[in-house]
Amino acid sequence: MERPAWAPHDIDISVPSVSRIYDYYLGGSHNFEVDREAARRAMEFMPGLPAIMKANRAFMRRAVKYALAQGVGQFLDVGSGIPTYGNVHDVAQGSAPGTRVVYVDRDPVAVSHSRAVLDGVPGAAATTGDLKAPAELLADPVVTGLLDLTRPVALLLVAVLHFIEDADEPLRAVAALRDALAPGSLLILSHASYEGVPVPRERTQAAVDVYRDIRSPIVLRSREEVARFLEGFETVDPGLVPMSRWRPEIPPAQADPYASSAFVGVGRKA
């Protein structure tokens, strides 16, 4: 397999990557055949996976605009993946020049490509970090150098928490990040669930098993379980709802059926 110039030399390009699979679903070009093969296997059971990812990105853009309208001009995107058109800095800086954005991911391909995309973009940077290690993430010089954590920050945990198993204490990690944020900060989150998926549970489980087979297990949580991540925040209207119902730009009835396959919400720290 030929290694493209954008792929860091210290990664194994024969192993599927969640970030690159996501990039494939969104129509990106930073993925390998091994990623596309895993994506196609999952899509055999859930053909609407690309629609889910696109709905997730659309929610993210709406939530970023909401944050800007609330006067929040700093964004910390954890588990940011490989940037595609309409990413956080595109939306935020396009609406409010001077906005600051830090992307954090544990995938070296995502970080490497993010840095290439952000080259020459003021107020935006990418760094390597893991949600499971919040103290190290918050102490990263890229984070502390670009963001003022004494002022409100929008923390994005978009389509990342379902990749953290309960044994790795995701609630503890989110609480640690919450406690480090200034009052007025926002948590923007999305999380996959069995609820709302327009295929039988057995087919959803088969798609989930594809991720388990590539050693990137997904934990689909109930609405009540996802709501626990918002503890300590005041949930803003319309609450924790399916993606298609959070401040939609089109009537939910006109949305793709798969657009209800995850719960999303925004919380404000008092």
Dist. CA 94–CA 96, nearest whole Å: 6
Closest CA to 172 of 117, 132, 221, 224: 132
186-192 and 241-242 beta bridge pairing: unpaired
| pTM of the predicted structure, to 2 decimals | 0.94
Mind listing the pLDDT tens digit of every residue in the chain (270 residues)?
A: 566 666 666 667 788 989 889 999 999 888 889 999 999 999 999 999 999 999 999 999 999 999 999 999 999 999 999 877 778 999 998 888 899 999 999 988 789 888 888 988 999 999 999 999 999 999 999 999 999 999 999 999 999 999 999 999 999 999 999 999 999 999 999 999 999 999 999 999 999 999 999 999 999 999 999 999 999 999 999 999 999 999 999 998 899 999 999 999 999 999
Domains of the chain are 53-200+222-268 (3.40.50.150)
- Measured at the CA of 119, the angle between CA 113 and CA 123, to 5 degrees, comes to 110
